[in-house]
Amino acid sequence: MFEQIASATVDVLTLEVMGYIVLGVTIGYFVGAMPGLNRATALALLLPFTFTMSPLAAICFLIGINKGGAAGSAVSAILMNVPGEPSSVVTTLDGYPMTRQGKSKKALKLALYASVIGDILATIVLIMLAAPLARLAVGLGPIELTAILFFAMTFIAAVSGRSFLKGIISGLIGLLLAAPRLDLETGMPRLTFGFMELYDGIPLLAVAIGTLALSEILVQIDRGWRGRYTHKNEFLHSAVTEDSRLSGREFLASMPAILRGSIVGTVIGLLPGLGASLASFLAYTWVKRASKTPELFGKGAPDGVAASESADNASVPASLIPVFAIGLPGSLATALLMGGFLMHGLTPGPFLLRDNIELVYAIFLGMLAASGILLMVGYFGQGFFSRVIAVRDTIIIPVIVFLCVIGAYLEGGGMFGVYLMLVFAFVGYFLKKFDFSFVTFLVGYILGPMVELSMRQAIIISDANPMILLQHPVAIVFLVLAVLSAWRLSAMNMIPRTQSRAMKRPDETAQPPRKEA
């Protein structure tokens, strides 16, 4: 084991890998800080640029974007009251009032430290849990795997949107999109309608860039017209004297909030579909309840920022635990990361840990290095990023549209991939507008081949006799859990409503996430 760790350390400590981690974290931080852009968009756009990288460098680069994005989203939340990502909505509650009080730099530093601590703690949990869970997962057969996938899709559908039915329909549409390809068993082209470009399946990047990046741009474009795309940056316009120093005592006073946030972020991140937004919200609620001065929350309490940001960042490595253990992504970002693994010929799951442990150790070490680099990038770059986020959308959006076209072109399908991407942008726009869950859609699409394979194997093994389930108690447990999650969670449908209710504040800072000037 130590030999493998030593070898992995050598692999990570190369100029290529470290350079890509720095680049990934910096890009992620920038994208997270920009209102309207998010990690998933950045991951979708930059996946094609990883083709020529080594698998380790590519995965570390993508993880760097993910980590940087989670931390960077606090910048615009604190300075502009516009969360860079949905998970930073809670940060605006106290971050923006701190800015109004002339404590923006203090809030930014606290958010950064909380993010890094949450990130490191959750990465350690990932390292400790992934291998034992994967060892358990190796023993799972197709019947158990089918039941687990069925449970995962149902659970994500139940918790990730407002409507369970829409969630499950999105997941099924995603699964269906994985069908056009050469049939896994017979090798016959299926639903390809003569397009040879579809023999390997619908290109991941056409789906990801179209539904995540370009459709989001289309939603933003339809919100404004002629100069309505600007935000006010308090950092640049503040007339209040700045109280920028975060003292050691202030930082230590926020440590309990950071630890609580890290715990909540890790637990919520572990469960597929729940997402960082819920983690931030629950951590904030817990810290507020435990506080001796709950009346200060919503008016600029540093603990509010610390709890929300540590939970947000802790959920990033934690969400990779199911990916490494059983190959199950639970969020948009992890689904895209899994896509990155697959593009580089790696299948995340128990067999990756068994057969390629050195690479997995190297990825874990890369993640820890990314946390340290995140601290550096955030510490030295916060002033720069605070100014850059004031760039007009009329500049950013057209450039992203151009990058979408190039990204879809690069996957190998040529202009065919670009045309498909345009179709999926249109589909994604309406999925968004009609409240269909993107997470289940993309998870369904990524898991499609795995679902089909395990389903077919299960049917062949059981000879299509459902009574065989009696010999597989693990499968029964997951099927029961699937039914329960569909029945209870979707019936309660409580998460989004509770969140949206909690986000409403009576004071002047309660603005919609993206206010048009």
Partner 1 sequence: MRAVDLVGGALLCALSLALIFIIIPADNPGGRWTGLSPYFYPIVIASGIAFFSLALSIQAMRHEYSSEEKGAPVTWRQLAMLLFAMALIIAGVLVISYLGVWIGGPLLIVAIMLFMGERNPLFILPTAILPVLVVHVLVNQFLGSPLP
Binding site for partner 1 (CB under 8 A): 49, 51-52, 163, 165-166, 168-169, 172-173, 175-176, 179, 183, 185-186, 188-193, 214, 218, 221-222, 224-229, 392-395, 397-399, 401-403, 405-406, 409-410, 414-415, 418-419, 422, 425-426, 429-430, 433-435, 452, 455-456, 459-460
- Phi and psi torsions of 190, nearest 5°: -130, 125
If the CB atoms of residues 228 and 387 are measured against partner 1, the closer one turns out to be 228
Dihedral of CA atoms 453, 458, 464, 466 in degrees, nearest 10, equals -140
CB of 358 to partner 1, least distance (A): 27
Q: Which C-beta is closer to partner 1: that of 188 or that of 252?
A: 188
Nearer to partner 1, 151 or 229 (CB): 229
User: What tokens were used for 234?
Assistant: 């308090």
Instruction: Give residues with Cβ within 8 angstroms of 57, minimum separation 6.
Output: 16, 17, 20, 50
| Shortest Cβ 129–partner 1 spacing (Å) | 32
Which segments of 92-158 are extended strands (E)? Answer: none
Burial 395-416 (b: 16+ CB within 10 A, else e): ebbeebeebbbebbbbbebeeb
**Tokens matching residue 404:** 């979408």
Q: Is the dihedral of CA 393, 397, 398, 402 positive or negative?
A: positive
| Number of other CB atoms surrounding residue 165 within 10 Å | 12
Q: Nearest approach, Cβ of 248 to partner 1 (angstroms)?
A: 42
Q: Which is nearer to partner 1, 291 or 462 (CB)?
A: 462
- Smallest separation, CB 192 to partner 1 (Å): 8
**Count of alpha carbons within 13 Å of 176, Cβ hemisphere only?**
6
- Kindly state the smallest distance separating residue 313's Cβ from partner 1, in Å: 29
Nearer to partner 1, 133 or 390 (CB): 390
Q: For partner 1, give the closer residue by CB, 124 or 169.
A: 169
Paired tokens of 11: 């692999």
48 or 298: whose CB is closer to partner 1?
Answer: 48
Report helix, strand or coil for 512: coil
Helix (H) or strand (E) holding 182: strand 181-182
Which helix (H) or strand (E) segment is 181 a member of?
strand 181-182
The distance of closest approach from Cβ of residue 42 to partner 1 in the complex, given in angstroms and rounded to an integer, is 15
Query: What minimum distance in Å lies between the beta carbon of 312 and partner 1?
Result: 28
